[in-house]
Amino acid sequence: MALILFFVFAIAAVLSGICVAFSPFGNNPVYSAIALIMTLFFLACEFVLLHATFIAVLQILVYAGAIMVLFTFVIMLLNLSKEEIGEERLTLTKVVGLVVVLIGLTYQIGRVIWAHKVAPVTLHLTDGGPSNPAFGTIQDVGVKLFQDFLVPFEVTSILLLVAIVGAVVLAKRKI
Amino acid sequence: MINTIPIHYFLLLSAMLFTIGMLGVIFRRNALIVFMSIELMLNAVNLTLVTFSRFRGDSSGHVIAFLVMAVAAAEAAVGLAIIINIFRHKKVVNIDTMDRMKY
């Protein structure tokens, strides 16, 4: 059952991921944004399969909720026409990039499959679950966050403050 | 047996999504779509982090995924502000035309 769910969500995530980068519906970025929201949702489903409930909820709330609203807001604010979007050209750089990326992907897939051949590892999702029954809950992650990762957490808050100030300074016409 | 999922399935899914995002960055010239492809790559990395976290039974990976989300939010805010600013000056979002630091 879990395996079937994994494949359903994985195939949906990859297909909508392809729609993000190479949208078959047209050049309008709104299609990409909708496809990206779907990808994020299916990835949240994968997180639930991995017992990462807190991250799954956060994925929906922060990514699909906050960041994608920002994206769609900007897309509609710009209201791009055909000539503003510009044309896509195939250059030698892109072909070289494609070859390099595909070589990297093949290498990585080969490494993962080889490592699995040498020492097969399976995740047991239903027989008992993780050893810690609270694994992945808000309490578990929160305790880790405020004990072991306190300094990165505070640095992140400073980063967000800098980003807020930077976004206002950049987007405002006159300060 | 049907209820177990091999760990490398998750890793391969993550690799595929990362590759799709990377190809989007390489091939597309629309700045907004390039940005969304970057978000896709960040999410693929998050999936790897959560997978290994589940594998080791240690939720540190969840914390790092949480921090990655915060960084993605900051990056989206600043990046979209830059795109709006460039669009206001040049009336295009094609990144081939963004070849100067100052106008």
- List C-alpha distances in Å: B33 to A23, A31, A35, A93, A121: 10, 10, 11, 19, 37
Subunit contact A159:B74, Cβ cutoff 8 A: yes
pLDDT score at A130: 72
Does residue B1 carry a pLDDT above 50? no
Third-level CATH fold of B29-103: Helix Hairpins (1.10.287)
- Cα gap A81→B91, rounded to integer Å: 10
Subunit contact B3:A75, Cβ cutoff 8 A: no
Mean pLDDT of chain A: 87
- Cα gap B93→A16, rounded to integer Å: 23
A84 touches chain B (CB under 8 A): yes
| Angstroms from B88 CA to nearest CA on chain A | 9
Q: A20 to chain B: which residues are within 8 Å by CB?
A: 20-21, 24, 33, 36-37, 40
Give ∠ CA A140-A158-A161 in degrees, rounded to 5.
115
Which among B34, B71, B80 is the top mutation candidate for probing chain A, defined by the most A β-carbons within 10 Å of its own β-carbon?
A: B80
A141-175: burial string, b at 16+ Cβ within 10 Å, e else: beebbeeebeebeeebeebeeebeeebeebbeeee
- List C-alpha distances in Å: B89 to A54, A102, A169, B33, B94: 42, 37, 16, 20, 13
Subunit contact B97:A86, Cβ cutoff 8 A: yes
10 Å CB burial of residue B98 (0-12, 13-18, 19+) is: middle
**What ranges do the domains of chain B cover?**
29-103
- Cα gap B18→B34, rounded to integer Å: 13
Q: B10 to chain A: which residues are within 8 Å by CB?
A: 6, 46, 50, 123
ipTM: 0.91
The 10s digit of each residue's pLDDT in B17-60 is 999 999 999 988 888 999 999 999 999 999 999 998 888 888 89
Tokens of residue B22, six digits: 């990377």
B14 touches chain A (CB under 8 A): no
Q: What band does B62 get if pLDDT is binned at 50, 70 and 90?
A: very high
What percent of chain B stands above pLDDT 70?
95
